[in-house]
Amino acid sequence: MSTRETTVDKSARRVQTMFGEIAPKYDFLNNLLSFGLAKRWRRRFVRTVFARLAERSEVSERLETLDVATGTGDVIAEETRQWTRRKLADKLGVREFRPVGVDFVPQMLALARKKVQAVEFVEADGCALPFDDERFDAVTISFGLRNMVDPAKGIAEMARVCRKEGVVAILEFSPTKFPLFAPLFRFYFHRVLPAIGERLMKNRSDAYRYLPESVDAFDSSEKVLEYMRAAGLKTPTRRAMTFGVLGMFVGVKE
């Protein structure tokens, strides 16, 4: 068994219903409840992915990325922004950039399609990706892995569709152990955030109660690194961000 026993219901049906309900307010709440930090986190995440891609010895004509559990497409929007602003075609020596997003909630994908046009968004389960082996140069997931019933399978799928020397990167919350900051954050995450979320959602969804519960119930960072190694990703690393509130995991496909 690859996942820890938890009392949190992470069944696909529950997760799909919940994200379907909050989809119209997802971006607004995400920004508000993270004090605008979510944008910065994704910016750093995408920067790191492109930096790792720049280290590769073999470069193809076209750069293809896959964002799993893409939601409203924020990671892809950030990739596209950086691609243009930072003139990455020249820096990476690639002519074309083609990102693809996957999510299993159609309401989230509808918003993603509006946000980033001319990008392929596919409705599929991250644990059974409908793509050939070794197709993508980079495969990312941000705030999606802890929702999966089997995160080890999710990581194995990401690694399967990633090319050799390609990058697999994960951004995910973790229960912070930072002295002084941890109790404050716990109070915010477990009390304040669900209260605001429920109020703004007019009690139509328990998503903001699920959020802290799913973070507490999620596998340890050591376990995530273990899943990455087992999936054939060499020397995976984890970097703590914002007082350990979240971690960025990066591995390169062997």
State the residues that interact with ligand SAM by CB under 6 A: 15, 19, 69-71, 74-75, 103-105, 108, 125-127, 142-144, 147-148
Residue nearest to ligand SAM (CB): 71
Residue 157: CB atoms within 10 A of its CB come to 22
Q: Compute the least distance from the CB of residue 51 to ligand SAM, in Å.
A: 19
Residue 36's region, left for phi above 0, alpha for psi from -120 to 50, else beta, is left
In terms of Cβ atoms closer than 10 Å to its own Cβ (0-12, 13-18, 19+), residue 64 is buried
d(CA 127, CA 160): 11
d(CA 154, CA 202): 32
Nearer to ligand SAM, 66 or 94 (CB): 66
Nearer to ligand SAM, 17 or 56 (CB): 17
> Coil, strand or helix: which one is 208?
helix
Q: Compute the least distance from the CB of residue 93 to ligand SAM, in Å.
A: 28
d(CA 227, CA 230): 5
Nearer to ligand SAM, 18 or 94 (CB): 18
Q: Compute the least distance from the CB of residue 212 to ligand SAM, in Å.
A: 13
Rg of the chain taking only CA atoms, in angstroms: 17
Nearer to ligand SAM, 64 or 103 (CB): 103
d(CA 243, CA 254): 31
Q: Which residues contact 31 (CB under 8 A, 6 or more apart)?
A: 38, 39
Q: Which residues contact 67 (CB under 8 A, 6 or more apart)?
A: 73, 75, 76, 79, 99, 100, 101, 102, 139, 140, 141, 142
Q: Compute the least distance from the CB of residue 69 to ligand SAM, in Å.
A: 3
Nearer to ligand SAM, 74 or 137 (CB): 74
Q: Compute the least distance from the CB of residue 47 to ligand SAM, in Å.
A: 15
Nearer to ligand SAM, 31 or 221 (CB): 31
Q: Compute the least distance from the CB of residue 32 to ligand SAM, in Å.
A: 13
